[in-house]
Amino acid sequence: MSQQQGNGAPRKRALRMVAGLFGLAAISFAAYWALHGRFYVSTDNAYVGGNLVQIAPQVSGSVSAVLADDTDFVRAGQPLVRLDDADARVALQAAEAALADAVRGVRGLYLGENQSAAQVSQRRADIERMRYQAEQAQIALQQARDEYARREKLQRDKFISPEALQAAKTALQNAEAAQLAARAAVTEAESGLEQAQQQRAGAQALVDNTSLEGHPRVAAAAAKVRDAWLALARTTIVAPVSGHIAKRTVQVGARVAAGAPMMTIVPPDQMWVEANFKETELADVRIGQPVTLKSDLYGSSVQFEGHVVGLASGTGGVFSVLPAQNASGNWIKIVQRVPVRIALNPAETADHPLRVGLSMHATLDTHSRNGEVLARAVRSGSPQQTDVFAAQAREADVRIARIIAANRASDARK
């Protein structure tokens, strides 16, 4: 009996030691969870995302050259594909000739308006001269009347001969005719002034309140030049952003339509991580919280530091091609996942480049909970933009200005 008791004592001590170890482990885990673990959530359901810039022509045509291939790095504005531009060049030459003709035609309108103004001034001067002549004719008529009346009295008294009276009468008739002619000349000059004023109004209506460059005829011709120039410029498809070429499908000699995809550019500096966390893990997730990321490409030796920039407004299942229909008799509850967008540090991605679609492991630190659950501020600025296409329009404006300057006279209205 004493031997059995001696054998049971070590067993009890061993059991107490095992129970103590389990208790210590439980207390350690509880302390770790309370002080550290409860502030972190992690997931392997995370992938690298990025902008996939699709390259497509803005005009149709036959491909004459392909200047970039898969895996190539291209810079913004670099030519990628050239289309046959023979038709576009002919259309541009015709539009430029039409613009030059429009400028010269508008110059003629301005000259016509100036000439009509000079004619109005000339007509007014003619009226003043005719009125003066009419006044002189009226004075001469009055003098002829007085002379005829004087000679008529003298002839009654037999102081002059009938021939002298007849001469005075003839002079009076000539003066009356001259006075009538002068009045008719004044009326004709006034009619000519009215006609000249109407002509000036018509000529002025064509050029009033506008400059040569802003005249509707020149503006319409300039618009056609701009359209033709852009059509020519767009036969060279350029890269809107810098990045690497992927999924090239265009071939030399192919006939491509406007909008048909030819290749894709992936900008290496515009990448992020989309981590899909369980809905039960998102209670304390806020915008701005730091995230530690590891890539399967580089292993655990390379860590990326990021931060939360936004949480999706719905679960992944809502935006799937075939959303789940839970109103069925055999429904089974499945924990949903919500995409969380994580911004990367550009300096780290420059040292260790990532590719779109790579798997990532994300660990999110929820210590700081001052941020918003969903974004409330309106974004300022554009996350993506390019001035490549605006540069083509500016080149068209320079070409139009050069054509107008070459076809305007030195005295043309500016």
pLDDT of residue 411: 46
- 237 and 188 inside one domain: no
- 152 and 253 inside one domain: no
> Could you tell me the CA-to-CA distances from 303 to 359, 363, 397 in Å, in that order?
13, 11, 50
For the chain, the first-to-last Cα distance in angstroms comes to 127
Q: Where are the beta strands (DSSP E) in 312-358?
A: 337-344
* In contact, 111 and 131? CB cutoff 8 Å: no
- 80 and 105 inside one domain: no
Expressed as residue numbers, the domain containing 399 is 53-87+228-264+389-406
Q: What is the DSSP letter of 38?
A: G
Quick one: 263 exposed, middle or buried, by C-beta within 10 A (0-12, 13-18, 19+)? Answer: buried
pLDDT of residue 36: 56
pLDDT of residue 4: 52
- 62 and 146 inside one domain: no
pLDDT of residue 328: 66
Give the number of domains in the chain. 2
Name the stretches of the chain with pLDDT < 70: 1-8, 29, 31-37, 112, 199, 201-207, 326-329, 409-414
> Could you tell me the CA-to-CA distances from 387 to 268, 384, 390 in Å, in that order?
19, 11, 5
- Residue 70 lies inside a defined structural domain of this protein: yes
Residue with tokens 């009347």: 145
- Residue 292 lies inside a defined structural domain of this protein: no
Digit-coded pLDDT (tens) for 301-327: 899 999 999 998 888 777 777 777 766
- 257 and 402 inside one domain: yes
Residue with tokens 């265009």: 250
- Residue 45 lies inside a defined structural domain of this protein: no
> Could you tell me the CA-to-CA distances from 286 to 46, 93, 190, 306, 373 in Å, in that order?
17, 60, 88, 13, 5
- 205 and 141 inside one domain: yes
Residues contacting 283, CB < 8 A, separation 6+: none
Q: What residues does 85 pair with on adjacent strands? A: none
pTM (global) more than 0.75: no
The encoded tokens of residue 148 equal 């005829």
pLDDT of residue 211: 79
The CATH code of the domain that includes 393 is 2.40.50.100
pLDDT of residue 1: 47
pLDDT of residue 160: 75
The CATH code of the domain that includes 183 is 1.10.287
